[in-house]
Amino acid sequence: MGKKVAVIGGGYSGLAAAFTLAESGIPVTLFESSRTLGGRAKGMDWKGLRLDNGQHILLGCYRETLALIEKACRHPEPFLRIPLELSVDDFHIKTLPLPEPLNLLFGMLSAKGISFSEKLSALGFLSKMKFMKGLDINVSELLEKYGQSCRLCELLWKPLCISALNTPIEIASSNVFISVLMDALNGSDMLIPRINLSSLFPSGAARFITKNGGEILLSKPVRSVVKHHAGFDLLTDGETFSFSHVICAVAPYHLSRLTEALPEIRVQDFDYQPICTVYSQYPERVRLPGKMMGSSRGLAQWLFDRGAICGQKGLIAAVISAARLELSFDSIASTMHEETKKLVPDLPPPLWQKVILEKRATFSCTANLQRPGNETPLKDFYLAGDYTASPYPATLESAVRSGLSCARLALKTI
Ligand SMILES: Cc1cc2nc3c(=O)[nH]c(=O)nc-3n(C[C@H](O)[C@H](O)[C@H](O)COP(=O)(O)OP(=O)(O)OC[C@H]3O[C@@H](n4cnc5c(N)ncnc54)[C@H](O)[C@@H]3O)c2cc1C
């Protein structure tokens, strides 16, 4: 059989793999079970607006993701770029446009809402960070070891850990936390998409892949992969496709069923953390005091003013990370309205609200987690996805890096 490559899964990892192969002149067939590309990072239509299935933030240090978006996206300015900034209750810190480490030093010293000794304590922690990696413990142990007060944990470290790892500090991996923090603080901005997540990369990637002889098969779930002497058979509903190479870019909870006939592919079970996004549409005049506001007192950690970010006036997105929600969607929606009211005192009732709960948004990024590599014991069968080995937690960047790595591995034997 000639060399033929299949990618299973059209999330950011699968598309990054297929795009990279297409750039090298290798046409790929990409199978996606859903009707749209993007996986856990996709756009959707609601009440005449383009929304995302979850409000996402990227960091300037997401090098590979940003490079691919630059190649694939037609929009001239797809992001709102703001300095790394954290506003939680009365606490506010912002990195300053100065060379490293002055950006952080002066940022911390001019922070509002914490005492001078708390500033020194946080700076002491940050300055020792590069020596902290090694034994992987949970983040709360690490913070205790370095004398961080409960108040600093509540206002600074807890929100940072939840936004970066989507995992509570009591179980989150100290090594991954430090990796992300070091990269993020290294002069990195925050990037909030101005366009929906499907237009950011998936649509442009799909155009490029098909233009270069590849094929994107939507609503085409692969039911099973079978190994034979010359490669792999992919079984869909009623059809069988043969390939020499397979990049399997599905989330780990879809992997075991798909690879039941491949005993070599065994990936451990992961625990997952949810993310709930609540969109609340108010009259157009409603605005938050800032584009992105944090809170440590309510259910939502972050509120985003979509009017200020992308022109969707009066629309507020609230993000509730890593919380096991026992409430009904109606109660979650009304709680978000009450929490927004604390920031906008004359807030009128919402015109509509939409609650989107992703129960398995990310794997729990716990200490000493064993994540599989991209190569597998099966020659020419690779694993891509945010859960594969990476210094990063489940993010677009870890997904994209895994896709690039699989494409490069496949290219060696094509
Ligand atoms: C609400 C939410 C908020 C988030 N916020 C952020 C953020 O702010 N910043 C950040 O960097 N990351 C964030 N993430 C994480 C980020 O979205 C994920 O890490 C990333 O999208 C994972 O990409 P992936 O390609 O690894 O997996 P997925 O996106 O899960 O892609 C897998 C694809 O495979 C398809 N598939 C599954 N089974 C089959 C089959 N049998 N045949 C064919 N196709 C199949 C699925 O339909 C899916 O499209 C967030 C995630 C969520 C859910």
- Are 288 and 330 contained in the same domain? yes
The pLDDT of residue 216 is above 70:
yes
Rounded to whole angstroms, the Cα distance separating 166 from 150 reads 20
Beta carbon of 360 within 6 Å of any ligand 1 atom: no
Q: What is the mean pLDDT of the chain?
A: 93
Contact 232, 242 (CB under 8 A): yes
Indicate if 243 and 263 belong to the same structural domain. Answer: yes
Q: Which atom of ligand 1 is nearest to the CA of 12?
A: 25
pTM flag (> 0.85): yes
Q: Which of 265, 272, 273, 268 is nearest to 246 (CA)?
A: 265
Instruction: Using the 3D structure, point to which of 327, 343, 363 is the last residue of a domain.
Output: 363
**Same domain flag for 153 and 174:** yes
135 and 206 both lie in a single domain = no
Distance from the alpha carbon of residue 38 to the mean position of ligand 1, in angstroms = 7
Range of the domain at 148: 85-187
The dihedral over CA atoms of 167, 173, 174, 175, expressed in degrees to the nearest 10, equals: -130
Q: Are 163 and 86 contacting, i.e. CB atoms less than 8 angstroms apart?
A: no
Residue 239: its pLDDT value, please? 96
A 10 A CB-CB count for 357 gives 15
Q: Say if residues 233 and 242 touch (Cβ distance below 8 Å).
A: yes
For residue 7 and ligand 1, the question of a CB distance below 6 A is answered with no
Q: Which two tokens stand for residue 56?
A: 């996402």
**Is residue 100 helix, strand or coil?**
coil
- The DSSP code for 375 is B
Asked whether residue 351 falls in the same domain as residue 260, the answer is: no
Task: With a cut of 80, say whether residue 23 has pLDDT above it.
Answer: yes
Per-residue pLDDT tens digits for 43-93: 999 999 999 999 999 998 999 999 999 999 999 999 999 887 777 778 888
**Are 238 and 304 in the same domain?**
no
Cα–ligand 1 centroid distance for 202 (angstroms): 12
Q: How far apart are CA 126 and CA 129, in angstroms?
A: 5
Judge if 222 and 263 occupy the same domain. yes
* CB-CB contact of 401 with 385 (8 Å): no
* Better pLDDT: 112 or 40: 40
Phi/psi of residue 349, nearest 5 degrees:
-65, 150
Among 148, 170, 187, the domain boundary falls at: 187
What integer is the mean pLDDT of 311-318?
A: 97
Task: Give the distance (Å) from ligand 1 centre to CA of residue 398.
Answer: 11
Instruction: Read off φ and ψ for residue 248, nearest 5 degrees.
Output: -100, 110
Same domain, 280 and 264: no
Domain end, chosen from 343, 363, 383, is at 363
Measured by CA distance, the residue closest to atom 29 of ligand 1 is 39
53 and 141 belong to one structural domain: no
CA distances (Å), origin 68, targets 13, 100, 268, 296? 11, 26, 30, 35
91 and 179 fall within a common domain: yes
DSSP 8-state symbol, 154: I
Number of domains the chain contains = 3
Question: Which segments of 73-115 does DSSP mark as H helices, in order?
Answer: 102-109
CATH number (domain holding residue 13) = 3.50.50.60
Smallest CA-to-CA distance from 258 within 233, 228, 231, 230 is with 233
